Chains A and B, each alone.
Chain A
Amino acid sequence: DAGITQSPRHKVTETGTPVTLRCHQTENHRYMYWYRQDPGHGLRLIHYSYGVKDTDKGEVSDGYSVSRSKTEDFLLTLESATSSQTSVYFCAISEEDFTDTQYFGPGTRLTVL
């Protein structure tokens, strides 16, 4: 998985609780992304980062926040989890080159009860 790890890999939580998912890379790539994947919707971008402390919103950012204090770590936080945020979350990374190729981590399956 191109030197990308995600933690936790599985999590069950209750509505209203805060949740933080972690993405860690060992590739020293500049760009990092958080996606969610739901049946019938494919992969949808939540937030992305183009450097330490530099982030921007994606297509489905409501209810999510991110932080990147180090090149290797990109955190996704659900401030108050809702059942609609039950999903599989993937982190991806890409280099700053013309190919724009993104490589994906193993994913985190989150269930909000």
Chain B
Amino acid sequence: QKEVEQNSGPLSVPEGAIASLNCTYSDRVSQSFFWYRQYSGKSPELIMSIYSNGDKEDGRFTAQLNKASQYVSLLIRDSQPSDSATYLCAVKRGSARQLTFGSGTQLTVLP
């Protein structure tokens, strides 16, 4: 079992719809969770971080964390074609400084 798993996609949604991206992790001591967006040929860009159970909203983005079920999700409301990218989930375990990344979900928003 991979430490951090994401559906590779591709995930396609129409413009204006809600895109839902999911990530599960295996280590229960994980404490910090991150979503990065990566456009083709570019570097990862931080979108959201979440540290406690529940929802965290930032504009059109909502991160949801459920530590009991060991999953974290990212919702993108009113999806735009400019949201088309690969979304990477990253998890920090305990006191370690390192992040473990999932392999990413490719999202396409269709005009």
Contact = CB atoms under 8 A, between A and B. Distances in A.
The answer to whether A and B come from one shared complex is: yes
A84 interface: no
Contacts of B36: 104
B103 A106 contact: no
Given A31-B97, A58-B98, A43 B88 contact: yes
Interface string B27-70: 00000101010000011111001000000000000000000000
B77 interface: no
A70 interface: no
Given A100-B99, A104-B43, A42 B49 contact: no
Interface residues of A, number: 23
A50 B46 CA distance: 21
Interface of B: 4, 8, 32, 34, 36, 42-46, 49, 88, 90, 92, 97-104
B34 to A, nearest CB: 7
Kindly list the 7 A-B residue pairs having the minimum CB-CB distance in the complex, ordered from nearest.
A42-B103, A43-B101, A104-B43, A42-B101, A100-B32, A104-B44, A100-B92
- Select the residue from A41, A58, A100, A102 with max chain B CB neighbours within 10 A: A100
Contacts of A33: 98
Given A99-B49, A100-B92, A43 B44 contact: yes
